[in-house]
Amino acid sequence: MTAREDLQDAGLQLRWKKFHVLDDGFVCLVDVMGNDSSVVQAARVSYGEGTRRVSDDRTLIRYLMRHRHTTPFEMAEIKLLVRVPMDCWRQWIRHRTANINEYSTRYSIAIDSAQQTPSDQWRAQATGNRQGSAELLSPETGEKLSPAERELQEEARRVYQERLAAGVAREQARKDLPLSTYTEAYWKIDLHNLLHFLSLRMNDHAQQEIRDYARTIGEHIVMPLFPLVWEAFQDYRLGATFLSRLELSVVERLMKRARQTGNTPPFNEEIFLACQDETWKDLKRCRERNECRSKLQRIGVLAAPV
């Protein structure tokens, strides 16, 4: 069986296979157009199909990914069916580069399912990031929160059903359903924009729930359908660190200081602050400085915090 036939077989096996996410969510592949060869074909539009070896295809895909040549990746598409809590879905559809058709609670009764939080999975609010989470709350706290959550969801559903039974229009009866209620949607997107979605939503800074969906899509659907693209995506996007002009200048000053003083990496915080960008120096709080510090600690230029 050829590599292309292997990918076609993978696509057939994946269609309509549900990969479960959270307590009652899922993602499944509905359809796929293209594979690794589609990306290569678009990049080599002047060449006939089959004129390059697989190893050449891999080299070209990695070059395209590395140098951010995006158009060839737009030539492949994936269509998914997803079941996702409404609050998570709100984040999802901020990515306005897909075609979407969502389950309508004006036409149909809302899905009788709401995402519930296990008692050991309640997260504290992050102090340094207004939109993020921090450590897990204690199980004792969770054992109070989870039953209250279930009670609230059950009451909201009861009121909703009561309104429907009284003849209230579905479009009005739904208005007090919680954001934890599951919705379903078809989501069709080209490969370039899908990878952009995954690079943001698989990131550690993304909310845990949407990270779970993104990781499932990436590892269980994109990877087997586009193995060469996925490999390049992991190497040059997902696992990569990018340095801005200001950050490169910090590194240059650190290296210059090392040559002058004989100090070698990893440098301490005092040296880092002495070499930081001028525009950061008067700021008590500076996200860009913090990001630079984290990147340089990751690659061993700065000492990790004790």
Q: What is the residue type of 234?
A: Q
Range of the domain at 143: 123-176
Is 53 a catalytic site residue? no
136 and 104 both lie in a single domain: no
pLDDT at 109: 97
Question: Which one of 201, 257, 285, 287 is the catalytic residue?
Answer: 201
Distance CA 127, CA 196 (A): 28
Handedness of CA 194, 101, 220, 122 (dihedral sign): positive
My answer on whether 32 and 83 are in the same domain is: yes
In a domain, 144, yes or no: yes
| Tokens representing residue 275 in the block | 């070499």
Instruction: Note whether 77 and 48 are same-domain residues.
Output: yes
Asked whether residue 163 falls in the same domain as residue 202, the answer is no
DSSP state of 50: T
Last residue of some domain: 200, 215, 238?
238
Predicted confidence at residue 165, as pLDDT, reads 98
Q: Verify that 52 and 84 share a domain, yes or no.
A: yes
Q: How far is CA 229 from CA 77, 80, 132, 285, in A?
A: 13, 19, 30, 38
Identify the pLDDT of residue 306: 74
Write down the pLDDT at residue 148: 98
Least Cα distance to 200 among 210, 190, 188 occurs for 210
Residues of the chain with pLDDT under 70: 1-8, 46-55
Place of tokens 């990131």: 203
pTM (2 d.p.):
0.90
Residue 10, pLDDT score: 73
**Is residue 118 in some structural domain?**
no
Please state the separation of Cα 16 from the chain's center in Å.
Answer: 22
Same domain, 89 and 188: yes
> pLDDT value at position 256?
95
Give residue 5's pLDDT.
Answer: 63
